[in-house]
Chain A
Amino acid sequence: MSTSRRDFLKTAGSLSLAFCLPLDLKGAAAQAAGPASSAFEPNGMLRIDPDGSITVWATRTEIGQGVRTSMAMAIAEELEADWSRVKVLQASTAPRFGDLGITGGSQTTRSTTTALRKVGAQAREMLLQAAADTWGAPKSECLARSGRIQHPPTNRSLGFGDLVAQAAKLTPPAEPPLKAAKDFRILGKDALRLDGPDFVTGRAQFTTDIHLPGMLVASIERCPVFGGKVKSFDASAALKVPGVKKVLQVSSGVAVFGEDTWAAFAGREALKVQWDEGPAAKLDSAAIRAQFEARLKMPGKVVRQEGDAAKALPAAAKRIRATYDAPFLAHATMEPMVAVADVKPGRCMIWAPTQAPGMALPFVEKLTGLKADQIEIQVTLAGGGFGRRAMADFILDAVECSKVAGVPVKAQWTRPDDFQHDGYRPATLHELEGGLDGGGRPVAWSHRFVGPSIAASNHFPWPAEATELAGAADLAYDIPNLQVEWGQSDTPVPVWFWRAVPASFNPFVTESFLDELAHAAGRDPLDFRLQNLPKAPRKLGHDTFDPARYRAVLELAAAKSEWRTRKLPKGWGRGIAAHAYLDCGTYVAQVAEVEAKAGGGIRVHRVVCAVDCGMVLNPGNVRAQMEGGIAFGLSAALYDEITLKAGRVTAASFSDQPILLLPAMPMVEVHIVPSDLPPGGVGEPGLPPLAPAVANAVFAATGTRLRSLPLLPQALRKA
């Protein structure tokens, strides 16, 4: 990807802000795309039509986490809409929608809910005023309910649709009153996702489903070694394949253009490319491990320090040490990477399942020479995201291919392309040492870990460690002498955000090692956790950790799993783990019940999950996201691993890299802590406690401590 560092910084700078900026409320009516009809568009993302139907444009990307439904719920609640009349469309980068920000970090709920409620409340107040004006009644006597404005003193009512012309003439109030949570009729209740019917009939349109007139499909052969370049290629055989139209070199490799997908794929099979594989050609997993081991011997950057761990450890009554590791991981979304672009003189239209349209725009500007206002990215449904679709690479493939071919192009990745050219979850290597005093209290904790930096390798304007620390530097427990160090150890393997980012590996390490300390202290792992929490909320990094919320999820998961009383069958064990996902304001604890044999298989039978995500927007979706986080986490905990040999990712498909399937899915129970705190995210927080809960349960069942992910080596994958 030939893009200047400055562009990256520019984009990334706005991107980091976009995570926390609220939606733009001002001037929305002025920005609304000049309603051709008599519709009421009080905001660029809301339209009410004369027939009373309500359209909401989602300004975050639906990647399965349910945001199209929950965003619409927040607007509909304040609007007092009839939920059955609400439909949701997807925003594009057109100016009327404002900045689409980033869909990631489980931030949508936290960063947009209040602004969305205001969008709905503004419209409600305008409809109330319109009805009051129509009736000549005081606005205070009118009320909005289920798509109608009522005037109880005179028993009159008008549907929203009857009021759109009048309401459209009014000025949106700057600070409309918001409803009290006790009056909610939509938020806080289970809502089925709005896309459900389209998904089950095949009507839902993903980017891969787009067909444009005159469109070609491009499939790009990439160098199997990261950073390699095309030396030469022979397209003669590819061009003889029926349906192949062109073969052209592009930035990411050699593109075969077919009149349909199969022609492009078949042409690619016949293509011959000579590569200059470059310096990474000899890279393999053993070399990366050796690099990490060498880096681990050197001090890292101290990212948390309390007391003096180096002094306290030798003085401890009992010391334990352990080494943990976690591998690179692929995202493996079900829909392989794909985008459609139509580059014309003065205009570029893109359709993409992107989590970060604004991040892609500067690259598209550079590639096309167009200005931002000549480019529009229409976000589509995405067949899975997990962070992968915040990368711009697959969008730029389509843009460049359309530019060089002069026609609309769908750039369609294959499954091996997707596995072998990902931005991977970083691999890490950890060394920990802990000390207990004579009473079995933890008095010292030292944790040094090394691995690549997502921030540094993608040139984000953040400290290199910023993307690697959650779950390690924000250790929840009250240990007087605490040191956490992180050592940067970059490799040629591209790294990127993967569901829960560092909280996909750090809590495995810290919650497993804490379990080791509990057993060393002869304490019950639940009691040990509860006894060693800080007494009061404390600042950890940018956020505040609330031990009461952490305690509550631990106790709820323990109670619902009958931690202290339930007798498990022979060969089973139970493990507990928790994680405060401070970035998105959500606390989760899980108890796993596992059947395991020393040196044998692992079968996770049951996971009991307690979640405190603040005010709950859609409880059904919270449960679904916990189930999904557990499944995604269990796949990684048991099986998933990206390894390298001769510079190449060895896995090309699901056969090389097993993915969790239905028969291995445990029963899952989700319990939600009632809360009136601001709503937090749920897409990622279900994942972090799963791997340590399972590993702790394996220890309880077998006495064997597994410190390396995935927990099941190749040979032991059958339960």
Chain B
Amino acid sequence: MAVFTLSVNGQSHTIEAPPDMPLLWVLRDRLTLTGTKFGCGQGLCGACTVHLGGTPVRSCKTRVGDVGSRRVTTIEGLDPHGAHPLQKAWIETDVSQCGYCQTGQIMTAAALLARNPKPSDDDIDRAMGRNVCRCGTYLRVREAIHRAAGQRKEVAK
């Protein structure tokens, strides 16, 4: 066990944890920030995506001991009112089905828009191409990202 001070969503938290404890479980079980989801624990599905110093990472494969002073942003901290353009676009596009993977999708998309405000379909496919959604909401994920970027395209009808 070791003591860590983490900056999560602009707040400082001091926790005691084994250094190899994944950031995912620190967020979910210690800080009860449960919007970040456990999907595979192997960095393969993207449900646990958070931002570390602005970069999207798979929190299930990020050891708490490696976080250091980098700012952690989770879905709960993406926008103080839950009104990030992506969150609004996601609702308007009715993307979610079961909803479980969507916070990870949105965090991945938010990192994309932060570095590429007007992504093409190919840009989106590259950035989002490793986030699994078993409900098959992929077309609406792409559509909602375009919508948030202000490039509204018709969703498949």
Contact = CB atoms under 8 A, between A and B. Distances in A.
A335 B30 contact: no
A196 B100 contact: no
A610 interface: no
A415 B124 CA distance: 27
Contacts of A412: 38
Interface residues of B, number: 63
Given A199-B96, A202-B103, A332 B139 contact: no
Contact of B34 (A209, A620, A669): A209
Contacts of B22: 262
Given A62-B98, A654-B132, A669 B38 contact: no
Contact of A64 (B33, B34, B38, B99): B99
A631 B136 contact: yes
B135 to A, nearest CB: 5
B121 to A, nearest CB: 10
B137 A627 contact: yes
A608 B141 CA distance: 19
A200 B106 contact: yes
Contact of B76 (A193, A202, A265): A202
B140 A653 contact: no
A65 B96 CA distance: 10
A631 to B, nearest CB: 2
Contact of A334 (B25, B128, B134, B139): B134
A266 B94 contact: no
Interface string A64-85: 1110000000000000000000
Given A193-B96, A334-B134, A655-B42, A261 B25 contact: yes
Interface string B79-101: 00010001100111011111111
Contacts of B130: 661
A89 interface: no
A194 to B, nearest CB: 11
Nearest to A632: B136
Interface string B18-45: 1011100100111011111111111011
Interface in A362-393: 381-386
A654 B39 CA distance: 10
Contact of A653 (B40, B100, B156): B40
Nearest to B36: A202
A197 B92 CA distance: 10
Contacts of B47: 334
Interface string B133-157: 1111111111000000000000011
Nearest to A669: B156
A385 B138 contact: no
A671 B79 CA distance: 37
A196 B97 contact: no
Contacts of B30: 260
Contact of A663 (B34, B86, B91, B129): B129
Interface string A597-614: 000000000000000000
B102 A199 contact: yes
Contacts of A631: 133, 135-138
Contacts of A669: 156-157
Given A261-B28, A662-B141, A196 B44 contact: no
B137 A628 contact: yes
B8 to A, nearest CB: 13
B142 A262 contact: no
B115 to A, nearest CB: 18
Interface residues of A, number: 69
Contacts of B39: 334-336, 415
Contact of B99 (A260, A262, A381, A385): A381
B139 A335 contact: no
B37 A628 contact: no
Contacts of B141: 662
B73 to A, nearest CB: 12
Contacts of B138: 631, 660-662, 665
Nearest to A654: B44
A670 B40 contact: no
Contact of B139 (A202, A635, A668): A668
B45 A265 contact: no
B79 to A, nearest CB: 9
Contact of B91 (A62, A192, A204, A670): A192
Contacts of B132: 334, 654, 659, 661
A333 interface: yes
A386 B25 CA distance: 27
Nearest to B83: A201
For A200, A628, A654, A660, the residue with the greatest tally of chain B CB atoms inside 10 Å of its CB is: A200
Contacts of A663: 125-126, 129
A668 B156 contact: yes
B136 A627 contact: yes
A223 to B, nearest CB: 21
Contact of B100 (A192, A260, A334): A334
B94 A196 contact: yes
Given A196-B90, A201-B75, A665 B45 contact: no
Contacts of B44: 653-655
A338 to B, nearest CB: 9
Contact of B134 (A62, A209, A333, A655): A333
A205 interface: yes
B87 A200 contact: yes
Contact of A205 (B34, B38, B101, B137): B34
A662 B156 CA distance: 14
Interface in A655-708: 655, 659-663, 665, 667-671
10 contacts: A196-B94, A203-B82, A414-B41, A623-B156, A624-B97, A624-B137, A627-B156, A654-B40, A660-B138, A665-B136
Interface of A: 62-66, 192-193, 195-206, 208-209, 211, 217, 242-243, 260-262, 265-266, 332-336, 381-386, 412, 414-415, 620-621, 623-624, 627-632, 635, 653-655, 659-663, 665, 667-671
Given A199-B103, A415-B39, A661-B132, 6 more contacts: A64-B97, A64-B135, A199-B90, A262-B18, A623-B156, A653-B44
* Leading 7 A-B pairs by shortest Cβ distance: A202-B35, A631-B136, A383-B100, A64-B98, A199-B99, A64-B97, A209-B34
